[in-house]
């Protein structure tokens, strides 16, 4: 049976070129980077070369990059350091954030931290006027808002939010896990304190990422027990993962515009085909290319007798996608993102997410399978 993978927002297939550079490190780069002998120095050199390469891509200082196990650890490190090291008493976030932000912020309320939730519209856009009102406080504040929502694709205007944060002397953390490797970041132009990365979202290996920390901000170790990462992240470094992350970023930024154009064409094509077939079709989040992450499309389908098993049925037909609401995913609780934008939870939804390897033929196959689920009702 043909199998089509359209769940790239969850994770992407690792690029062959990434595997190619990781294998020699797995085989021969076994020296501990903390050791002073030649084997250790070779491993340490791989890490520091990678750090400089990533910093060059982002136009920041190598010392501002801290390697982590991925985006969740990076988000935790930024939030907890902001509270423990930088005196943050007030966190402004939204109900649409990834749980790495939401759950961590909730945990920090035990440290006498207050949480405010900025208003969002039905499409998931942040109400910037409300954000300003929430920032009008004497408390030391951190704003934690993701660059692009992982479920509904709506983009945050990073520069505008940064400007507002600086107006009120607030710290700014943006979870950029879904957008790193898909958009260019110039951290000399973007005034921000923290951004995060997970390599597996752009064809790198799982289990590795980084936290960018602006040189004017302070962080403390989240994981203690060693002096690695300048004492900020204890534990022997994931050398082959770091090398793979760097190669994945190199590949991503070789032709980021070409990548964007290819994937956006597929997304637009799928939107148009769904609109032509269904009279009653909707899309969660923004679909305007200027306001929407081009790799993600969240579709709100008409309800029929098969809709409660939509994702399972598509999987059986060879199409791997994700969903949010309980009625379509089988989860005990529906998507907090869809609840946050007050979506109709009685209608089935599916999140289709694309990569640079996705083809038009795969989109056509997926569309055929979607139509087969609904054809009896529509006939």
Q: Which residues are the active-site residues?
A: 327
Compute CA 313 distance to the chain's CA centroid, rounded to the nearest angstrom. 27
Provide the total of helices (H) and of strands (E) in the chain, helices listed first: 13, 12
Give the bridge partners for 299, in sequence order: 283, 350
Give the Cα separation of 267 and 297 in Å (integer).
7
Helix or strand or coil: residue 303? coil
Helical residues (DSSP H) of 141-211, grouped into ranges: 158-167
On whether the CB atoms of residues 231 and 221 are closer than 8 A, the answer is yes
Strand ranges for the chain from DSSP E: 4-5, 65-68, 90-93, 114-117, 141-144, 171-174, 194-198, 209-213, 282-284, 296-300, 319-320, 349-353
Helix or strand or coil: residue 312? helix
Helix or strand or coil: residue 31? coil
How distant, in Å, are the alpha carbons of 3, 259, 298, 368 from that of 181? 25, 10, 21, 30
Burial of 6 (0-12, 13-18, 19+ CB in 10 A): buried
């Amino acid at each position: 049976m043909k199998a089509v993978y359209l769940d790239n927002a969850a994770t992407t297939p690792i690029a062959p070129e990434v595997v190619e550079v990781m294998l020699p490190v797995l085989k021969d780069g076994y020296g501990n980077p903390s050791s002073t002998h030649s084997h250790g120095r070779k491993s340490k050199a791989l890490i520091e070369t990678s750090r400089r390469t990533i910093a060059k891509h982002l136009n920041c200082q190598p010392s501002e990059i801290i390697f982590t196990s991925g985006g969740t650890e990076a988000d935790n490190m930024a939030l907890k350091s902001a509270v423990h090291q930088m005196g943050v008493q007030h966190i402004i976030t939204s109900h649409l954030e990834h749980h790495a932000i939401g759950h961590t912020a909730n945990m920090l309320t035990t440290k006498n931290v207050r949480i405010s939730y900025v208003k969002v519209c039905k499409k998931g856009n942040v109400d910037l006027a409300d954000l300003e009102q929430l920032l009008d406080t004497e408390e030391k504040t951190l704003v934690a808002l993701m660059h692009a929502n992982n479920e509904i694709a709506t983009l945050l205007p990073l520069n505008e939010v940064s400007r507002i944060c600086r107006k009120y002397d607030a710290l700014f953390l943006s979870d950029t896990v879904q957008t790193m490797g898909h958009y260019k970041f110039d951290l000399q132009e973007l005034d921000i304190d923290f951004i995060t990365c997970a390599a597996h979202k752009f064809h790198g290996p799982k289990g590795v990422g980084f936290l960018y920390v602006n040189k004017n901000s302070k962080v403390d170790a989240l994981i203690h027990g060693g002096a690695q990462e300048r004492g900020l992240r204890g534990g022997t470094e994931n050398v082959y993962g770091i090398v793979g992350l760097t190669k994945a970023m190199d590949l991503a930024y070789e032709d980021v515009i070409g990548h964007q154009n290819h994937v956006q064409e597929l997304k637009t094509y799928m939107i148009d085909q769904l609109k032509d077939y269904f009279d009653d079709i909707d899309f969660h989040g923004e679909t305007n290319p200027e306001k929407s992450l081009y790799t993600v499309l969240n579709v709100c389908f008409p309800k029929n007798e098969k809709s409660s098993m939509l994702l399972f049925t598509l999987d059986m037909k060879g199409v791997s996608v994700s969903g949010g609401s309980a009625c379509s995913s089988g989860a005990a609780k529906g998507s907090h993102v869809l609840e946050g934008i007050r979506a109709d939870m009685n209608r089935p939804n599916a999140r289709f997410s694309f990569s640079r390897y996705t083809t038009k033929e795969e989109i056509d196959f997926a569309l055929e399978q979607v139509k087969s689920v609904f054809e009896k009702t529509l006939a």
